[in-house]
Structure 1
Amino acid sequence: MKEIEEDFSTDDELYEHYSFKAGKGQEPLRVDKFLMNFIENASRNKVQQAAKEGNIFVNGIAVKPNHRVKANDEVKVMFSHPPHEYLLVPERIPLNIAYEDEELIIINKPAGLVVHPGHGNYQGTLINGLIYHFEHLPQNSSQRPGLVHRIDKDTSGLLVIAKTEYAMNHLSKQFFNKTSEREYIALVWGNITDDEGTIIGNIGRHPKNRLQMAVFPDGSQGKEAITHFKVLERFDYVTLISCRLETGRTHQIRAHFTSIGHPLFNDERYGGDRILKGTSSAKYKQFVENCFKILPRQALHAKTLGVEKPSTGEFLRFDSSLPEDMVECIEKWRIYIQNRL
């Protein structure tokens, strides 16, 4: 099978092997020495090598062996391969199935559900639920049954699952050849100047924060990524947009809009969980905090998905409604702006 357009390579996956939190009384201590106190049979050379390879993180940032751990720091060791306890087991997880036939399944994924095991989430994922409800799903190149593409844990919306080997290959080629259709709805910080446009910039792992993706417009690193957008509604300090993807890179929409100064609303990983635009009044601050509570995740929904049915060539297009948390948050912004006019 060709490499499909959606990224499933180990370059974009990091699996959590160890996680520790420094105590309140922790005196500053080199991270290599700190880890040797917690990891059984760990040699200092192995710990230092892991740090040199960018696999040791303190508070989400890759650090060198001489970095000093302080009180309340979170220390994690993450590698591109899964730990020994990584097992794919069936779990009885409810699935919101928007469509199903003999070849494919369309799932409407809720926010909060991880698509596949990884990053410390080895159970309770969509894949665990799929292998419980469906037998003999085909494996993709990364050994994830039925999976053709993916969306982030805290992104809601549609994705397609293949039920046969032929469907897996056919659907994968559609994503690779950019003949599938995907539309996302997002709320981003700031007033985007243009009514529509295209963001082009390679996306790859962030050189310092390995849990983030970064944009490299000069193409020096990463993989090609193209996002088309259109403004749907403006609320002075935030903008509601529609995005159409040509490529399917990890965190593509989140990274692209951060790169142009418009992080997604309440996107903690990319800095959107702070007040980035607006007034300094206490009333406005309280309003935004209330919006964060209503929508406790990045404001991103995979609304529309279109694929060709493998056996017949018929083009199938599916649409999903915005989830309640996004609807309520958008309506609050709409009312807030109207009351200011």
Structure 2
Amino acid sequence: MTTRIHQLAPGAPAQRLDRLLASAWPDLSRSRLQALIRGGHVTLAGQPVRDPSLKAAGSAEIALAEPPPAPAEPVPERIPLQVVYEDEDLVVLDKPAGLVVHPGAGNESGTLVNALLAHCGASLSGIGGVARPGIVHRLDKDTSGLLVAAKNDAAHRALAAQFADHGRTGPLERAYLAFCWGAPEPRRGTIEAAIARHNSNREKMAVVPEEKGRHAVTHYAVEELFGDPADPAASLVRCELETGRTHQIRVHLAFVKHPLLGDEVYGAGFRTKAALLPEQAGSALAALQRQALHAALLQFEHPRTGRIMRFESPLPPELEKLRAALRMCAPAHRPERKLSS
């Protein structure tokens, strides 16, 4: 149990208790403070208060008996992690394909959250009063690449705000490398199409009319063509997100008829194209057993220091092997049309 004390200044104007304490202790979210007040953990002039909207004024002392973070429901598990960067506020990871981020139905254990609970241990100060990592963005189970998680409430709020803004006004930047069938036309452009849950298959997402879904924008640029430049078998495309919808890149590329290689959910109709690839490329694709998508770039502002943090992740070995095999679809072509990075 940790006790915090805040002394009201004589003559200060009356304020709601939750707002006053949020200003005094910015590392605690207002919702967390409201829960603590309602739970009887706050006293004003020595008397317990349970109403977050109570107006506090005068020169009284406010005390908060902050309980230790409650144990997280997921069980810590010693799962190997590739940590790219870590400090007292956050941890940046290079997630392998096949690792689920959050526990859920059918995945109660063996997730990234389980692994982070074991890895971070006592350094987790609690997100919303619970000893857990603060996941501010996700990668699909079968997508590899960079992901950041917060280790305390203040970092979680600051990072969540950056991801909610999607880099429109701040330094947040995310870029993905995607291997897709054929190549989008034009070779550099923007896919803007709303996304919602599929009508008949609730595990899928789909492009829908704007008024029926969530606005979604993906900027793309073809980085490499595999095969005849006039009619490529496949291409390597760099995608940058202006929004962050579930399965966004997978859904958008499928919508423009260039689904990801290996995507059994959104590219099942392209399975027969694998037979047209050179033998080595077909074997590399068959061995992949996941969508060919990698989160290659992550940039954000550090929530405590304000420093711009930029991380890049090379293609994992299985995608490098796929690229090398696809280059046998001669003649290969590499257009100089990269997005800014």
Q: TM-score, normalised by structure 2?
A: 0.68
- Post-superposition Cα deviations, 1:155-211, rounded to whole Å, max 9, x if no partner, equal 000000111111100000001112211000000111222121111111111001111
Q: Which residue of 2 aligns with 1:309?
A: 302
2:155 aligned residue = 167
Q: Is 1:294 paired with 2:282? A: no
> What letter matches 1:325 in structure 2?
E
Match of 2:213 among 222, 225, 241: 222
Change (3 A) 1:159 1:188: same
Alignment of 1:128-207 (within 5 A): 128-134=114-120, 135=122, 136=124, 138-139=126-127, 145-179=133-167, 180-207=172-199
Distance 1:277 1:123, change over 3 A: same
Q: In structure 2, what residue type is equivalent to 1:203?
A: I
Q: Distance in 2 between matches of 1:196 and 1:212?
A: 27
> Could you tell me whether the CA contact under 8 Å between 1:146 and 1:163 is conserved in 2?
yes
Tell me the equivalent position of 1:232: 223
Instruction: After TM superposition, list the pairs within 5 Å mapping 1:12-27 onto structure 2.
Output: none
Tell me the distance in 2 between the aligned counterparts of 1:140 and 1:335: 52
Deviations 1:278-302 (A, max 9, x none): 8x76xx4755541323322100000
Contact 2:281 2:322 in 1 (8 A): no
Q: What does 1:1-341 align with in structure 2 at a 5 Å threshold?
A: 87-134=73-120, 135=122, 136=124, 138-139=126-127, 145-179=133-167, 180-216=172-208, 218-235=209-226, 236-272=232-268, 274-275=270-271, 277=273, 284=277, 286-287=279-280, 289-338=282-331
CA 1:273–1:324: 2 relative to 1, 3 Å: farther
Instruction: Name the aligned partner's letter for residue 160 of structure 1.
Output: V
Contact 2:85 2:92 in 1 (8 A): yes
Could you tell me which residue of structure 1 aligns to residue 19 of structure 2?
Answer: none
Evaluate the alpha carbon distance shift between residue 103 and residue 255 of structure 1 in structure 2; reply closer, same or farther with a 3 A threshold: same
Measure the CA separation in 1 of the matches of 2:115 and 2:294. 21
Q: By how many angstroms is 1:105 displaced?
A: 0.7
Whole-Å separation in 2 of the counterparts to 1:219 and 1:142? 37
User: For residues 270 and 332 of structure 1, what CA distance do their matches in structure 2 show?
Assistant: 23
Q: Distance in 2 between matches of 1:274 and 1:229?
A: 21
CA RMSD of aligned residues (A): 2.4
C-alpha distance in 2 between matches for 1:306 and 1:287? 35
- Report the TM-score, using the length of structure 1 for normalisation: 0.68
Cα pair 1:265 1:272 within 8 Å, conserved: no
Alpha-carbon offset, residue 87 of structure 1 = 4.8
Q: Choose 1 or 2 for highest CA Rg.
A: 2
1:241-264 Cα offsets, whole Å, 9 max, x none, are 000011111101001111111110
Q: Distance in 1 between matches of 2:241 and 2:180?
A: 16
| Unpaired segments ≥5 residues, structure 1 | 1-85
